[in-house]
Amino acid sequence: MTKASPLRWAIIGVLAAGLAVVLGLVPFVGGSYYAHIGILVLLNVTLVMGYRLLCLTGLYSFCHITFFAIGAYTSALLSTRLGYPVWICFIAAGIVAALFSMALIIPAGRVRGVYFFLVTFGFLEVMNSVFLHWSSLTGGDAGIAVFAPIIGTGTQTQDYFVVLAFAIVTVLIMYRLERSRFGRELAPIGSAEGLASVSGVNVFRNRLLAFAIGAAFAGFAGSLFAHDAAYISANDFSWWGSVYILVWLVIGGERKMWGPIVGAVVMTVVAEGLRMSGIMQALFYSGVLLLTVMAMPQGIVGLVGYLRAKVGGARTSGDEGPPPVDRLAEGSP
Amino acid sequence: MAAQVIANSIVLGLTLALMGIGLTLIYGILLVVNFAHGEFYMLGAVFLYYVTSSAGLGYWVSAAVAIVAVGVLGWALEVLVFRRFHGDLIGGCIAAIALTIGIQSITWEVWGPRTRAVAAPVRGHTEIFGAVVTNERLLIAVVSLVSILALAWFIKYAKFGKAMRAVSEDSEAARVQGIPAMKISALAFGLATGLAALAGVLVAPTTFVNPAMGSIPLTFAFIVVIIGGMGSVAGSLIASMIIGLQQNLTALWLGSQWSIGVAFLLAIIVLVVSPKGLMGHD
């Protein structure tokens, strides 16, 4: 630690306090519509946090929204069919989603790069087909009405604070995980799988864990979504959901934890803000995406790193995140 | 009955092949998964509609105009956008998705929220070995087959086709041999998007035309390239036939609502058993 660290902690403290005030005031300032947007943003943050874990190992899946859906259906079915209390449904949602992810990655872990991306895309479509057509279980197009509120009477404000607590816990857990032995082993797998493997890193076990933990959090988020929205149907979980999660990750930049968080917050708020005007929203979304991937391939994280390097020169050299994941490494011979 | 199923499967398979082969060509040369491929199919049909209705040209001339226009658009997009993403799986996906959103929203704006029909160039039906096939579908099958054979010949013997194969095999080595890899990849992208537009103009008379029509063919193209293997044209053709048959059998035995789900299940099984599809390369 350098001399600057007390100042740095002070800045972090002030920022955190400011953030806490803003987050705490959202439902009171803007009413239930803002609380609703807040819930959406926070759930999206937890989704992209979980998604990032496997990405750090250099494998990009395309079915994260499916684990969210599995959580939502698990929770909705346990609650409406068997009458379990919501907290049991919530825990079960995470567990079931994690079990599905393990069942998927045991065979799918054999393939790499674009083939992994496609096999998970296949899983997404198979599950969507089940959600849509196994109507006796999932309600198909008509969906399921979920009457049990998360807590209290299920107002948007109450839901908002539950989701806020869940999102904070998720971010803290992810923060701890990244600094654990398991977390520190993920990035080397992404940048040099063979080398990590001969250095004694259990590549398969780490990927399995990363995928399962990510899926579990998506499952928890799905449960909260189902009980908050009080209604779910197959249409809530199309592959566009996976596209958005990928977009948040890329816009924010996956190298640092705060990148995907910023990506999810900014893009969700922007998408909601532009909802009024169809074509402008689509063109804006499309343009921002294209510009981001073309001009700043490391996302906002990369941009900030670049600016800091320009301003601070070599001073920032000790403050690097995990090494950049080489997306080429797995995709080409 | 069996003859009918086989005839339907071949017709469907040949339709799917045009999209699958385009997608696999692009992957083979650019190492980019073109999520926007369905939009070029849609644009083929939409351009066909506008040329026939506004310029009053016949089906065939309009189809040619639409295919060339989409091919040129594809070529331009490769030069402007996809060139930067060769080999970048995630970047390429995002760029293609961004283009999908952009192309679709512009088309919705111009087209409006409605579906339109395009008049078919042929009418009636034909009986082959006891199977009844409408002439529209027969035409789709024949044109697809001829185009695929021409493409196969082209890739195998023409100078440009050989250069494409060389770039697909090893882009670096091809460049060392003096093959202009960048020019080749732009032309290959134009060719592949032209094939998607061909599929679009062929299918347009048998369905409704609207800006969302590209998503299902895209889904099938993905299944085809997963099973056939990324980058393999022959693999795509075989996989298209398998999927054509699977679609008809699933509809017959389980009901048509399961046909896409079963196709993806089949794709997952193939991929897990043989991680590069039937005939894929890296």
Cα B171 to Cα B168, B176, B234, B282: the distances in Å are 6, 9, 20, 12
Alpha-carbon distance of A212 to A226, in angstroms, equals 21
In a domain, A19, yes or no: no
A50 Ramachandran zone, left/alpha/beta (phi>0; psi -120 to 50): alpha
Full residue range of the structural domain in which residue B69 is found: 2-211
Confidence at residue A226, expressed as pLDDT on a 0 to 100 scale? 94
Question: Searching chain A, which residue's CA lies closest to the CA of residue B275?
Answer: A111
In a domain, B129, yes or no: yes
Alpha-carbon distance of B17 to B149, in angstroms, equals 12
How do residues B56-112 score in pLDDT, each as one tens digit? 788 899 999 999 999 999 999 999 999 888 888 888 888 998 899 899 889 988 888
Total domains in the fold of chain A: 1
Nearest alpha-carbon partner for B148 in B20, B278, B276, B5? B20
Q: Report the residue from A125, A287, A332 with minimal CB separation from B219.
A: A125
Residues of B in contact with A331 (CB under 8 A): 31, 87-89
Indicate the Cα dihedral angle B266, B267, B271, B277, nearest 10°. Answer: 120
Smallest Cα distance from A5 to chain B, Å: 36
Note the residue count of chain A.
Answer: 333
Q: Report the residue from B90, B91, B264 with minimal CB separation from A125.
A: B264
User: Does residue B158 have a pLDDT over 80?
Assistant: yes
Smallest Cα distance from B25 to chain A, Å: 15
Q: Report the residue from B101, B276, B282 with minimal CB separation from A282.
A: B101
Highest mean pLDDT among B7-11, B39-43, B121-125: B39-43
Burial B247-281 (b: 16+ CB within 10 A, else e): bbebbeeeeeebbbbbbbbbbbebbbeebbbbbbe
Residues of A in contact with B91 (CB under 8 A): 250, 293, 297, 327
CA geometry: angle at B38 spanning B267 and A282, to 5°? 120
Alpha-carbon distance of A194 to A199, in angstroms, equals 9
Alpha-carbon distance of A286 to A277, in angstroms, equals 14
Pair A209, A182: CB distance under 8 Å:
yes
- What is the token pair recorded at B176? 């060392």
In a domain, A13, yes or no: no
Confidence at residue A278, expressed as pLDDT on a 0 to 100 scale? 66
Total domains in the fold of chain B: 1
Residues of A in contact with B260 (CB under 8 A): 125, 129
SS3 B213: coil
Residues of A in contact with B223 (CB under 8 A): 122
Beta-carbon contacts of residue A291 (< 8 Å; ≥ 6 apart): none
Q: How confident is the model at residue B7 (pLDDT cuts 50, 70, 90)?
A: confident
- What is the token pair recorded at B74? 């594809």
- DSSP line for B106-160: HHHHHH-S--B----S--SEEEETTEEEEHHHHHHHHHHHHHHHHHHHHHHHSHH
Confidence at residue A316, expressed as pLDDT on a 0 to 100 scale? 47
Pair A108, A100: CB distance under 8 Å:
no
Pair B181, B175: CB distance under 8 Å:
yes
Full residue range of the structural domain in which residue A99 is found: 27-331
**How many A×B Cβ pairs under 8 Å?**
137
Confidence at residue B76, expressed as pLDDT on a 0 to 100 scale? 95
In a domain, A9, yes or no: no
Confidence at residue A313, expressed as pLDDT on a 0 to 100 scale? 61
How do residues B101-136 score in pLDDT, each as one tens digit? 899 889 988 888 888 888 888 887 888 877 888 888
Residues of A in contact with B102 (CB under 8 A): 282-283, 286-287, 290
Contact A331 B85 (CB under 8 A): no
From first to last of its 333 residues, what are the pLDDT tens digits of chain A? 455 678 888 888 888 888 888 888 777 777 788 888 889 999 999 999 999 998 888 889 999 999 999 999 999 999 999 989 999 999 999 999 999 999 999 888 888 888 888 889 888 988 988 898 888 888 888 889 888 888 888 788 888 999 999 999 999 999 999 899 888 888 888 888 888 888 888 888 889 999 999 999 999 999 999 999 989 998 889 888 898 898 899 888 888 888 899 999 988 888 777 765 667 777 887 888 888 888 887 888 888 888 888 887 655 444 444 444 444 443 333
Alpha-carbon distance of B58 to A76, in angstroms, equals 55
SS3 A231: strand
Smallest Cα distance from B267 to chain A, Å: 7
Confidence at residue A275, expressed as pLDDT on a 0 to 100 scale? 67
Confidence at residue A113, expressed as pLDDT on a 0 to 100 scale? 80
Residues of B in contact with A279 (CB under 8 A): 105-106, 108-109
Alpha-carbon distance of B48 to A3, in angstroms, equals 69
Smallest Cα distance from B148 to chain A, Å: 25
Q: The complex's ipTM?
A: 0.79
In a domain, A16, yes or no: no
* DSSP 8-state symbol, A233: -
Residues of A in contact with B265 (CB under 8 A): 122, 126
- Residue to mutate among A48, A56, A115, with most B CBs inside 10 A, is A115
Contact B275 A110 (CB under 8 A): yes
In a domain, B255, yes or no: no
Alpha-carbon distance of A61 to A269, in angstroms, equals 24
Q: Report the residue from B94, B225, B276 with minimal CB separation from A247.
A: B94
Confidence at residue B282, expressed as pLDDT on a 0 to 100 scale? 53
Contact B91 A119 (CB under 8 A): no
- Please state which of the ranges A7-21, B33-47, B134-148, B179-193 shows the lowest mean pLDDT: A7-21
Q: Report the residue from A130, A293, A332 with minimal CB separation from B282.
A: A332
Contact A331 B87 (CB under 8 A): yes
Residues of B in contact with A116 (CB under 8 A): none
Compute how many other C-beta atoms are within 10 angstroms of the C-beta atom of residue A85: 10
Alpha-carbon distance of A309 to A299, in angstroms, equals 15
Cα B73 to Cα A89, B78, B92, B106, B118: the distances in Å are 51, 9, 17, 14, 22
How do residues B212-258 score in pLDDT, each as one tens digit? 888 888 989 988 988 888 778 888 899 999 999 998 898 888 888 88
